[in-house]
Structure formats: C-alpha cells, structure tokens
Amino acid sequence: MNTTTTHEMTPAQRFAADSDIVQRTLKGDAAAFDQIVREYRETVFRVAMRIVKNEEEAQDVTQDAFMNAYRKLDSFKGDAALSSWIYRIAVNTALMRLRKKKRRAEVSMEGLPISDEMDFVWTDLSAHNVRGDEAAENKELRGKIAAAVEELEPKYKDVFVAKELDGLSLQEIADEMDLSVPAVKSRLHRARLSLRVSLERYVEL
C-alpha cells in the first residue's frame, strides 16, 4: 500500500500488502494501523451512513468498527481482501447499533438467529418472490431464508448483502471490495444460485 493503490494491485500484490500491514500492526506498529484507518475510513463511514442514516451515529459506528477490527485483527487470515474483511465488520457494527437503538432483541427460529440484516433480506425476498398469499407471514419460511443467507460463504454473503441490504451498485461493490465488476456479478450469481437450491420449494430468486 505504498505508491500503488489497492485498486491497481494484482491479487498477489494485494495479499502481500494486506499481510504485511496486518503483521506490522500485530507487532505493535501503531503507524501501520493508522494507515489502515486512513485507507478505509471513508468506506466504513459510507457503509455506516447507509445503515444508520445519521451522521453523528455513523461517526460513532466508524470509530467502533475500527476498534472492533483492531481487536479482531489476529483473526484475519487473508482468505479475503482486507477491504472486504473491514467492510464486513463495518456492516455488523452498524447493524448492532441499530439493534441497540431499536431495543429489539434478536428473534430465534429453530435455534437460528434472525438479525436486522436478515430482516432486510427477508423483506426484499418476500416482497415479490414468495409463493402463496400467506407465505410472507410464515415464520418458518422466514427462518429458512435467514438461515440460508447466514450459511452462504462469506465472500458470497458479503456481495449479496451489499447489493440487497445496502443497495450498492455493482461498481460500488467492486470499488469497496477491491473486486472487478465481473467478479461481483459472479459472486452475486453464485449467492443467488445457492439460495435458490436452499429455498427452491418456497422462493424463486
């Protein structure tokens, strides 16, 4: 992450750069983590604003997200780009903020939590695609949709949630996750195929 931006790097270069800055941070290099914050602050703030829709709260979410990222940095394995890993933390932190604000406890269906994130996905899927007049009120179906999305591989779930929850365009997702637009399309397609297999009895995606 020196003179070459993450968007200009090859996957191998990006992996090396991500690994280097993470390892330097874990070894106590405060400047390395400051670099991470500078690199991704704008992205995290945009994600927070789209979810909490309040500038002051989005600033708080941004700060909390980087604190969470710092605490969890030793869990970063490099199987996804650092930008995608931080994006996921930002989304989760913002959604947690919403849950606290609304004082709404998570609902459990057959032992599986349905988070605010899954509420958004449920609303999107059920609005047009659920078979049967009363299906949208079916808690069992809601639980199945929530579970199916939760079980997606992280790289597919991240893209699906960015598109369906955050309402990002393909180009915006590509920019924020350091992917090409074709790669975003491919992951979104894979996510929908996986959900179709899991939910074909109930939903047409």
pLDDT score for 84: 86
Residue ranges, comma separated, of all CATH 1.10.1740.10 domains in the chain are 1-104
* CATH number for the domain whose boundaries are 105-205: 1.10.10.10
Per-residue pLDDT, averaged over 35-61, amounts to 91
Contact assessment for residue 74 and residue 92, using Cβ atoms and an 8 Å cutoff? no
Mean pLDDT of 72-98: 87
Residue 50 and residue 166 in contact, taking contact as beta carbons nearer than 8 Å: yes
**CA–CA distance, 85 with 79 (Å, rounded to integer):** 9
**Dist CA 86 CA 36 (whole Å):** 10
Residue 150 confidence (pLDDT)? 78
Range of 124-128, 151-155, 169-173, 182-186 with top mean pLDDT: 182-186
Residue 132's pLDDT is what? 46
In the chain, CATH 1.10.10.10 sits at 105-205
Torsion from C-alpha of 126, 131, 137, 140, nearest 10 degrees: -100
Q: Which CATH architecture fits 1-104?
A: Orthogonal Bundle (1.10)
Q: How confident is the model at residue 135 (pLDDT cuts 50, 70, 90)?
A: very low
Q: CA 61: distance to chain centroid? A: 14
Question: What residue type is 29 in one-letter code?
Answer: D
- What is d(CA 160, CA 87) in angstroms, rounded to the nearest whole number? 13
pLDDT at residue number 35: 94
